[in-house]
Every structure is written in C-alpha cells, then in structure tokens.
C-alpha cells in the first residue's frame, strides 16, 4: 500500500512550547486514520502541519508527493490534492450553497461556471443535500452546513481529506448525519485523516487509530486497540472520555 502521507520525526513549537516532539506515522492509499488524544496532545497541530497551515521546525512531511518541509513547496498545488474540513464551517454567508462549492473549482482549477454548477450538484448529492443547492447557509442546520463544507472540499476532487473535529460543535443527531457522510467516503476508498472524539466511529470506521499524548504518538494500531489499550495513558483517556 503506497503512502499518501508520511511524517518522519516532525517537530513543531509555538514559542517556548514544543507541541510536536518527533511525530512519525504513515497513511496508506485508501486508509482511514483516526487521531485521538486529550486537548493539547498535538493532534490538531499535526493535522494543520500536514496541510502546511503550520510550518514545522524539524523532520519531514510528504503528502501526495508534496514535500511539506521544502521551502519551495507549491501550496496551490497542495491545496488541489488535499481537502480540509474544520469544526467551524467557514461558509460565505452571502453566497448560496452551490456558489460556496463552485468558488474554488472556478478560481483554482479555472473550471467554467456551468461545469462547476454540475460538479456542485454532484457533490451535494453525495452528502444528501441535493435540494439545498440554492439555499443560503443561514437557512441550514449545523449538520447541513458541515455537510456542505465536506461537499466543498470534495468538489476539488482531492486525493486526501482531513477532518479536524468536525462534529464537536454539533448535537448527537446532527453528528450522526455528518459521520454517515464520512463513513460513505471511507467505503468509497477516500484516504482520510480525522481528528475526532467520536470513539465509536473511530473503532468502526478507522483502519488505523493513532493516540497522541504530550506531543508524541503514544500508541497506534487498528480500531480494536481501543478495546485493549496497551498503555496506562490510553486507558485513562478512554476511561475519562467514555
């Protein structure tokens, strides 16, 4: 299985605070990797480094062939290959759902407006929101807005999708809506890394779970490892969270 993402001894600090302390892991093509851990463990920072939203101080990151640690990195090319969805939906309120989705393909890929509209309708269908194309974000529930944010990333036809705690602001019913979309993507073979507190989802869907603690990969393995922690730190984390 070829690696879509490879981190090797990655280090990242914010001032005097070292957040990532030699983080290494790989994500194979079609793999779904769930990154878990307490707040401050470094998981979201690792995700942001993978998409070059943060600059690393040490180590190497290669994503879809792009060398993130290279000072000559073409970020525009990287953004075409990697989609990221955040906890906050970041939709433009003055644009319709379809217009929000069409924006990047038109501006980044120079796709014609009619083709972009067709593409928007296609990805909205994938997330179960075909009827909301001409609605505005304020007319949607939180779960629907998050599904639009996922559709917007899918419209760029990425090789890799990153999800940063995308359900943490949603109630259980809306969380279920979003997780079903992500599960469908996983079944379709999309390579995904998700930072999540949804342990049941990680256990069910992830091909690999990475537990981060104090800026390091503390434990890693298949979803079943959540039923049999090998370290006291993971056991404590799961006991506190479940």
Q: What does the DSSP 8-state code read for residue 223?
A: G
Q: Reply yes or no on whether the pLDDT at 79 is more than 90.
A: no
| pLDDT band with cut points at 50, 70 and 90 for residue 1 | low
Q: Reply yes or no on whether the pLDDT at 230 is more than 70.
A: yes
Between the alpha carbon of residue 172 and those of residues 132, 169, 198, the distances in Å are: 22, 10, 11
Q: Reply yes or no on whether the pLDDT at 242 is more than 60.
A: no
Mean residue pLDDT of the chain comes to: 92
User: Which of 59, 81, 64 shows the shortest CA–CA distance to 7?
Assistant: 59
Contact predicate 4/160, CB 8 Å:
yes
First vs last C-alpha separation in the chain: 33
Which sign, positive or negative, has the C-alpha torsion 87, 221, 191, 70?
A: positive
Q: What does the DSSP 8-state code read for residue 65?
A: T
Give the pLDDT mean for 202-219.
Answer: 94
> What backbone phi and psi angles, to 5 degrees, belong to 228?
-145, 70
State what percent of residues in the chain have pLDDT above 90.
76
- Collapsing DSSP to helix, strand or coil, 162 comes out as strand
Which pLDDT score is estimated for 196?
A: 92
Q: pLDDT per residue over 15-64, tens digit each? A: 999 999 999 999 999 999 999 999 999 999 999 999 999 999 999 999 99
Nearest-angstrom CA–CA distance, 61 and 57: 11
Give the pLDDT mean for 135-147.
Answer: 94
Instruction: For each of the domains in the chain, give its residue range(s) and CATH number, in order of start.
Output: 1-73+207-242 (3.40.50.300), 76-189 (3.40.50.300)
Q: pLDDT per residue over 150-195, tens digit each? A: 999 999 999 999 999 988 878 888 888 899 999 999 989 999 999 9
| pLDDT band with cut points at 50, 70 and 90 for residue 89 | confident
Predicted TM-score of the model (pTM) = 0.92
Give the pLDDT mean for 99-128.
Answer: 93
């Amino acid at each position: 299985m070829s690696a879509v993402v490879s981190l090797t001894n990655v280090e990242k600090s914010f001032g005097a605070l070292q957040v990532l302390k030699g983080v290494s892991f790989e994500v194979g093509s079609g793999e779904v990797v769930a990154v878990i851990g307490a707040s401050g463990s470094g998981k979201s920072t690792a995700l942001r480094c993978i998409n070059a939203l943060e600059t690393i101080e040490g180590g190497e990151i290669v994503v879809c062939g792009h060398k993130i640690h290279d000072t000559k990195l073409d970020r525009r090319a990287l953004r075409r290959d990697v989609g990221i969805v955040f906890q906050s939906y970041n939709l433009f309120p003055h644009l319709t759902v379809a217009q929000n989705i069409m924006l990047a393909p038109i501006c980044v890929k120079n796709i014609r407006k009619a083709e972009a509209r067709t593409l928007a309708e296609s990805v909205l269908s994938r997330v179960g929101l075909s009827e909301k194309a001409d609605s505005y974000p304020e007319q949607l529930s939180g779960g629907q807005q998050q599904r639009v944010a996922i559709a917007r990333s899918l419209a760029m036809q990425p090789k890799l999708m990153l999800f940063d705690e995308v359900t943490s602001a949603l109630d259980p019913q809306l969380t279920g809506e979003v997780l079903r979309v992500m599960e469908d993507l996983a079944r379709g073979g999309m390579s995904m890394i998700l930072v999540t507190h949804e342990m049941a989802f990680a256990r069910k869907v992830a091909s690999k779970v990475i537990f981060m603690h104090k800026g390091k990969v503390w434990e890693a393995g298949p979803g079943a490892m959540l039923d049999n922690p090998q370290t006291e730190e993971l056991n404590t984390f799961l006991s506190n969270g479940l």
